[in-house]
Structure 1
Amino acid sequence: MLTFILRRLGSSLLVLFGASVLLYVLVVNSGDPLADLRESNADNREFLMEQRIRFMDLDQPWYQRYWTWLTGVGRCVIGQCDLGTNRSGQQVTDLLALAASSTLRLVVLATVIAMLLGVAIGILTAIRQYSGMDYAVTFLTFLFFSLPVFWAAVLLKEYLAIGFNDWIADPGFSWPAVLLAAAVLGVALQAALAGSARRRLLTFAGTFAFVCAVVPYLDWLDFARYPQLGPVAITLVGAAAAVGATALLAGLRNRRVLYAGLITVALGLAAYYATYALLWEPTWWILVGLLVVALALAVGVGRLVGGYSKGPAALVASVTALVMGGLMVVEQLFRSWPGFLEAKGRPISTIGSQTPNFTGTFWEDFLDKGAQLLLPTILLTLISLATYSRYTRASMLEIKQQDYIRTARAKGLGERQVILKHAFRNSLIPLTTIMAFDFAALIGGAVITETVFGWKGMGELFRTGLNQVDPGPVMAFFLVTGTAAVLFNLLADILYAVLDPRIRV
């Protein structure tokens, strides 16, 4: 395996080298970097031209400029990257650090959400093949996939930003809107749960009644402006997560796994009161530390209580701990929401990655950046969702026809074990390739998204460098996306052997 990795790295470096030479030549020959100054009537035009020539090394041939850039990239091995300067004399390394942090914050979140939702939807539609839900999901995923990015971005701005900002000033739900939402949710839930006609009707009726009762109650509480959660709701949701994770991963008959999840809920409730003051105004290091402690305790509980099912018990306890921790964070965000609305007025902006000169508490700043992240994340998630769901569905349908799946059913294994332990793991092999390339593809695809939403990220860096015939920013963009593509492709090859022991290099 080590020989294979080294060989792949060597060939990938050659590919990156050839692509970088080609891109550099195309950029430097795409226009005149001094065009704007040649047309200028400023008194110091000659000085500005000489200054730009010095910043961009325009007095040297392209191959010498490229070699200077390449040697600067080579210094990254020892932690001293030098990507040169742009035409204004700014260090490209500093610009890249700011742009990459902004874009990665967007792309990583969109990739994780699309992957989790897409895989779950793909499995569900494969199980419910040719059902009404399968056809509806197929239609929606292809609809989202085919939407023009710029047009979908405008729709999100109009309805999820401007429309929501207008609504939150005086929030309220009319009865026609409540009835419509209840009907849509009831139809979707009964299609997802399936079953007999009687079960479908009961699911629809229960969902319809629940929505019609809860939404007016929340409206009466003015929940949109003054949301609240509390320890009782956190405990109930945490217990539901423990039961659901147990049913999915081990089965409810495995009492030890269920007890591990419920014990984690009890510990989470105790942590709610113990860390309340600490979470009032935390730092990121405190949150990360609490996350590590929570997962360590959850794994310890799972291995201590799980008996012969230590692995599933630790996994269920970890999932429960993550849910409980996430609910505690949501509780703090709910408490900060009224102050955030008062400070900002219109919570969701349509331009930029954060509000300029916004000052607030830790959680209000979290809400500000999260609100700015909402629209572009939804857009990028919808774009990737169709790919993950369709590939998962196709792979699951193919795996279900294999002999070992029929053998597993013939041996009397439950459908949960057949789907999760046998079919799902093998269906991940083709998905691994998609996951590996999707991350790099999203960074490149974020160029349009960042332009529409006014994000100062990798897309802005690439577009500015290209418009100004400045190879420095463009090559920095290529360096990140190209390296990401190579590394994730290599990671996919390694994961093949992990997922399927039959695959060996």
Structure 2
Amino acid sequence: MIKFILKRLGISFLVLLGGSVLMFYLTVTADDPLKDYYESNDPNRDQIIAAITQRLQLDEPWPVRYWDWLTGVAGCVGPGVCDLGQNINGAEVSTLLANAASSTLRLVTIATVLAIVVGIVVGIVTAIRQYSGLDYVVTFLTFLFFSLPVFWAAVLLKEFGAIRYNNWIADPQISPVQAIVTGLILGLILQSVLGGSWKRRLATGGGTAVFVVAALLYFTSVGWWRAPALGIGIVAVVSIAAAVGLTAIFAGLANRRVLYATLTTVGVGIIAYFAVSPLLAAPSLLTLVGLLAVAIVVGLVSGYFWGGYSSRRAAMGLSVVTAVVMGLLIVVDRIVYAWAGFLGIKSRPISTIGSNTPNFRGDYWETILDNGTQLLLPTILLTLISIASYSRYTRASMLETMNQDFVRTARSKGLSERVVIVKHAFRNALIPITTIVAFDFAALIGGAVITETVFGWKGMGELFRTGLDAVDPAPVMAFFLVTALAAIVMNMLADIAYAFLDPRIRR
């Protein structure tokens, strides 16, 4: 395995080197960066031209300029000074890259994780419910999302997700008609997902519709939309549901030891909800990381003592996941509680331009809300586009795997459908999906150029676009460096995941 990884690293280095040469050549020969200055009437024109010529080494042939750039990049991974050069205005590209990469990677990472989780779940459900009404609807929506022009979808999101929402949140009202229509739509969707006999569908859809209508009307009457709160009740109910659901999917409810372990973790989390409240009033990132580590330890201890010899591994794993889910719910509870104060500072919360609000004055949670609302629309856009490919590939891979002989053998041995799908079909179906994840992460960084342009996001897209417009190779090569390294690292992780999912690949 180590020999295979080293071989892949060597090939990846050669590909990276060849691609950088081609990218540098195409950039520097695309146009003349001084053409606008030649026509300028600025009295300092000659001095500006001389400064840019020296800064960009325009009096040197392109191989020499490329070698100087490559030498500076080599210092980033070995002995020497890390130097990515200067842009046409004299700013250090390394500083620009650090700010742009942190912004873009935050956006792309969140969008990728959401797309993977939602896309895989949707793909599994549609594979199990093949040729059902749900399958046809999801197929139509995935092809629709996949074919959406990014710039057009971004404009729609800005109109409905920002402008109209900001107008509505100033005086949020939901009429009974709107509540009924929303309840019927959600009830129709849920009964389609769960399926079953017509009586079960009617009960599921009707119950969902009644609950949604009652909740919407209640929230409107008490002004919940501008001053929301979850509270320990909702946190506890959702955490218990997560514990039972995770146990049912991955271990089965018949495995009481695992169920008791996850429920014990929830019980400790309910006590911790009150114990950590003073710490969460004005926390720091280090505080939150420390509390997450404590939650993981609690999950491990609960799983260890409840699991016994045969179920200890499953109990510890699911207890840790339950602890993390409950910890995230407690954090979400604090963020939701800060919404009222956030609206007092920023009356139109969803922005259409920029990655942060200039001169924003708020506490820790209000600052998180500001960053989150700025991140919301571009994340939704990138996630919708990626979900389409993940769900289709998952569906196809699951259908192919579920028709294999070993799956039929597992069913003939009397294993439950949960065990057949989760432990046999799904794991083998993940092998081709890992390839899509590896390529999609790097592709999203490149595709974020259009998204960042539409939303005025100060990230890698702007760095790349301004570099191309100015025929400035240093920012363009910095963009290429991050994108190419992301592609190489993700492909390497995909190779390691292959070996984990299918031990035969190790040989």
Q: TM-score, normalised by structure 1?
A: 0.99
1:90 corresponds to:
91
In structure 1, stretches of 5+ residues that fail to align are none
Aligned to 1:295: 296
In 1, the alpha carbon distance for the partners of 2:329 and 2:455 equals 29
Partner of 1:459: 461
Determine the structure 2 residue equivalent to 1:426.
428
Residue aligning to 2:404? 402
How far is the alpha carbon of 1:146 from its aligned partner? 0.5
Secondary structure, counterpart of 1:306 in structure 2? helix
Structure 2: which amino acid aligns with 1:127? I
**Runs in 1 of length 4+ with deviation above 4 angstroms?**
none
Residue equivalent to 1:26:
26
Distance 1:280 1:469 in 2: 49
Is 2:417 the counterpart of 1:415? Answer: yes
- Aligned residue number for residue 499 of structure 1: 501
- Spell out the pairing of 1:39-54 with structure 2 (5 A cutoff): 39-54=39-54
Instruction: Find out whether 1:186 has 2:187 as its counterpart.
Output: yes
Quote the offset at 1:101 in angstroms. Answer: 0.2
Superposed displacement of residue 78, structure 1: 3.1
SS in 2 for 1:277: helix
Structure 1: distance between partners of 2:302 and 2:481: 44
Alpha-carbon distance between aligned partners in 1 of 2:241 and 2:441, rounded to the nearest angstrom:
32
2:58 maps to what in 1? Answer: 58
Contact kept, 8 Å, 2:251 with 2:258, in 1: the verdict is: yes
Match of 2:11 in 1: 11
Q: Which SS does the other structure have where 1:455 is aligned?
A: coil
Give the Cα–Cα distance (whole angstroms) in 2 for the partners of residues 449 and 480 of structure 1.
18
* Aligned counterpart, 1:354: 356
Question: Equivalent residues in 2 for 1:85-484 (5 A)?
Answer: 85-307=86-308, 308-484=310-486
Amino acid at match of 1:495: A
Task: Give the CA deviation at 1:188.
Answer: 0.5
| 1:297-353 Cα shifts (integer Å, max 9, x gaps) | 112211221112112211221222122111211121122111110101100000000
- How far apart, in 2, do the equivalents of 1:225 and 1:341 lie? 8
Separation of aligned partners in 2, 1:293 and 1:331: 19
Is contact 2:449–2:461 with CA below 8 Å preserved after alignment?
yes
Deviations 1:13-42 (CA, angstroms, capped at 9, x unpaired): 111111111111110011111112111111
Mean CA deviation greater in 458-467 or 331-340: 331-340
**Counterparts of 2:6 and 2:473, CA distance in 1:** 30
CA distance in 2, matches of 1:163, 1:311: 49
> In the alignment, residue 500 of structure 2 is paired with which amino acid?
V
Distance in 1 between residues matched to 2:504 and 2:14, nearest whole Å = 30
Query: How many angstroms apart in 1 are the aligned matches of 2:313 and 2:373?
Result: 37
Q: Residue 343 of structure 2 aligns to which amino acid in structure 1?
A: L
Paired residues of 2:230 and 2:337 also in contact (CA < 8 A)? no
Q: Identical aligned pairs, as a percentage?
A: 61
Looking at structure 1, the residues matched to 15 and 321 of structure 2 have their Cα atoms a distance apart, in angstroms, of: 41
Q: Secondary structure at the match of 2:338?
A: helix
Q: What's the C-alpha RMSD, in Å, of the aligned pairs?
A: 1.0
More divergent stretch after superposition (238-247 vs 393-402): 238-247
Give the CA deviation at 1:449. 0.2
Could you list the per-position Cα deviations for residues 182-237 of structure 1 after superposition, in whole angstroms to 9, with x for gaps in the alignment?
11101110010001111111111111111121111111121100101111221121
Q: Compute the displacement of 1:255 (Å).
A: 0.9
Q: Which amino acid aligns with 1:52?
A: I
Do the aligned partners of 2:104 and 2:460 also contact (CA within 8 Å) in 1? yes
Moved more, 460-469 or 173-182: 173-182
Residues of 1 paired with 2:190 and 2:283: CA distance?
38
| CA distance in structure 2 between the aligned counterparts of 1:186 and 1:310, rounded to whole angstroms | 39
**Is 1:486 matched with 2:488?**
yes
Tell me how far apart the structure 2 counterparts of residues 437 and 291 of structure 1 sit (CA, whole Å).
Answer: 30
- In structure 2, the residue corresponding to 1:50 is in which secondary structure? helix
Shift of 1:504: 2.6
Structure 2 distance, partners of 1:31, 1:430, is: 42
**Separation in structure 1 between the aligned mates of residue 326 and residue 395 of structure 2, nearest angstrom:** 31
Partner AA of 2:494 in structure 1:
A
2:78 corresponds to: 78
1:372 partner letter: Q
Shift of 1:412: 0.6
- Deviation track 1:246-283 (CA, whole Å, cap 9, x = no partner) reads 11111111111111111111111111111101111111
How many Å separate the matches in 2 of 1:81 and 1:120? Answer: 43
Task: Tell me, in whole angstroms, the C-alpha distance in 2 between the residues paired with 1:172 and 1:261.
Answer: 39
Give TM-score, length-normalised by structure 2: 0.98
Aligned to 1:38: 38
Uncovered stretches (5+) of structure 2, i.e. residues with no partner: none
What is the CA–CA distance in structure 2 between the aligned matches of 1:117 and 1:480, rounded to whole Å? 27
| Rounded Cα–Cα distance in structure 2 between residues aligned with 1:281 and 1:40 | 54
Deviation of 1:289 (Å): 1.3
Query: In the TM superposition, what whole-angstrom CA distance separates every residue of 1:398-446 from its partner, at most 9, and x where no partner exists?
Result: 0011111011001110000000000000000000100011100000000
Matched positions, count: 505
Cα distance in 1 for partners of 2:173, 2:363 equals 28
SS of the residue 1:365 aligns to: helix
Post-superposition offset of 1:52: 0.9
Q: Determine the C-alpha separation between the residues in 1 that align with 2:184 and 2:231.
A: 29
Q: Distance in 1 between matches of 2:141 and 2:335?
A: 32
